[in-house]
Structure 1
Amino acid sequence: MNTPYAHTVTPLTADLLRGALDLEHTERGVVPHRLPAHARRQIPDGQLAMAESQPSGVRLALRTRATVLELDVVATKRVYPGAPPRPDGVYELLVDGSHTARASVPDGDTLTIDPATGTAHTRPGPVRTVRFTDLPTHDKHVEIWLPHDESTRLVALRGDAPIHAAPAHGRKVWLHHGSSISHGSNAATPTGTWPALAAALGGVELINLGFGGGALLDPFTARAMRDTPADLISLKIGINIVNTDLMRLRAFGPAVHGFLDTIRDGHPDTPLLVVSPIHCAIHEHTPGPCAVDPAAIAEGRLRFMATGDRAQVAAGRLTLTVIRDELARIVARRAADDPNLHHLDGLDLYGAADQAELPLPDDLHPDPAAHRRIGERFARLAFGPAGPLSAEAETEAEAEAEAG
């Protein structure tokens, strides 16, 4: 461990964190989780277990006069044999809302995953210190955003002055669920994921339940959303259903209805936006499953490809085009009885023209510039004037609920 020089130790408690639904205490520190313990006990695969423990959107929210802050962490570095090395996760420091510094740690636990065999093993590694110095001396609001794509155990927090949990600032809480794109795959920083960018532009507090490979209409995720206090909710559904080849059209519609019904059990009148998939050429008209392109791996690149048979779409296999049509139909049907339910076509966030200008580098996930474009468009279409998640829309929803 690096030698610390900030001397005031602050216990790592849940009130210091935003964007996490649970805090697990272990022998090697605390782990922020984006699903509660009862949901994690029902996770059927290692991919989702890994994804929900990666703290996308999770940040420490502090009030302090400290000029030095130190955070001891155990990061989990992922290794995929044959694939290019992954960049280190980024810790971002915001002071009074302004981006001030970034840091990373070079090592930690190492998780080696072999996609060819499905095996994985972990080698324990050291505790490292993330240090931020030369902060202004005044009493200030400080956020430390944790890496969006790197599981992180928090071991200790220190400063050269007392550190307190930041008080709530009254912003609306936006609860979002989606796939690896919402999780932030290929984004460069935790505040550079499209949901983080949209939240900043929309002036809302983000809880990001975007899970790489895990937006599969799981009932335990719906129950977690049902039980999480929120003022605004959105669901981005589709790409994982296709690229896992999880279900057919007959099952998809009822699964969407069930997911929405469960959320409505806890949020009967909350503005709820259903977002269909962005453009992804490999799966627009070709079903899954999705696979890693071995030719690209041989060249030291990571690319994905669709392996399904287009001829089977007529028999109920799903593509992004089919899912967009079905989601629009489902929302239109339900909206007759649920005026606070809304639909957004994902092609309005990133369409074929955007793909031509800002291509998906691995044919599946947006790059940092595309994340920014998606975030800016979502903020305008959802949080902007007359948007379904705008303050104006929420006022109208409250009035309708009172009238009912």
Structure 2
Amino acid sequence: MRKEDAVDGEPTRRAVAKYGGAVALGGLLAGCTGGGASEGDEAATDDAGDESYTASISPVGEVTFESPPETVFTRLTHHADMAFALGRGDGITAMHAPDYYDGLWNQFVERLPGVSLDWSGRYSSWEPDKETLYELDSDVHLADPAWITQLDAWDRADIDEVAERVSPWFGNSLSDRHQDPTPEWADGYEYYGLWEQFELVAEAFDEPERYEALASVHEGLLSTIESRLPPEGERPTVVMIAAADIEEIYAYTLSNPGFLTSHTRPLGPRDAFEGSIESGTVVDFETILEADPDVILYLGGMEPGTDMAGRRTAFEEDPVGSEVTAVENDRVHPQGARYQGPIINLFQLEMTAKQLYPETFGEWPRYEEGPYPEIPEGERLFDRERVADVINGVF
């Protein structure tokens, strides 16, 4: 997108496109989630020129773009990964914990030939400052305004101001676990699956071919999994945990609605907690032993700064933790990230399939450190070369 200055107080072509998004926000809040374009929308399209196009996502509504965005503000990593998948990884201007997620994502990117990623040093946007968004001057804010306005420093007027004066918002985050939006966003808020949202984001970037190519890889992977899953009664019991400090362990659900479980839900594991634990509940070794899972999935276990061997040792040396079946059978496995986009989702579907069903999908190597293990070509569940080509624009 061109970065032109306004002249004599009139909005630039880029600003006109952004304002179309702000109008759509108001229409959605009034209950207009579909239907024909308004006069303001038509004017925005005319002013933006013949190359303009529109895309739509809840809760933003319809947004008019004069040209595909190149620089991208994100807050959560499912959006950052979507931009990366569409060839805009280098254009990301902001994200949550950029150095942490740069390290984690590169553990997977290592296995994509000819692909590189560097998110280090980006603006950390967990609690974004409006003035910084002006300074970043990103072509699109790939973030959910309904999530942003949950922050004390933001309200609806701020959202509309940024959409008009900097660039549109285009993202959805409350689909993570089907969270309820605040009342001002509740009317017509829609929830999307991970790949459903990725398709909408691809439309915003005018990249339908890239989306279709990656979706084909994903569909093939799901088909492989679904055709080879053992009967439900033969599946392992599983818990997913995370802990920066082993003294405070958080447990997470595996199959509830939302894109956070898009890598575990298709594999149909049995919840060792039997639904008694909500995501984010703090548990101890006694609680885990009572559930006695066959497999423990350890979120963040593949981040370079995580001592995965030490986490296993903490279980093995504890008189209670050592009695857990998963610990006794050396089935404590690392995971990557819950806020995954399409690329990490492919890897996490493959790794989780191997971690849960080694007899069916091949053994998962015992991981302690380093990048995603090099899986023998005949045991891979998706084509790395194909994914790398799509990211690099060869499709």
Same fold per superposition (TM over 0.5): no
Determine which structure has more spread, i.e. the larger CA radius of gyration: 2
Going by fraction, where is helix more abundant, 1 or 2?
2
Taking structure 2 as the reference length, what is the TM-score of the superposition? 0.29
Taking structure 1 as the reference length, what is the TM-score of the superposition? 0.29
Going by fraction, where is strand more abundant, 1 or 2?
1
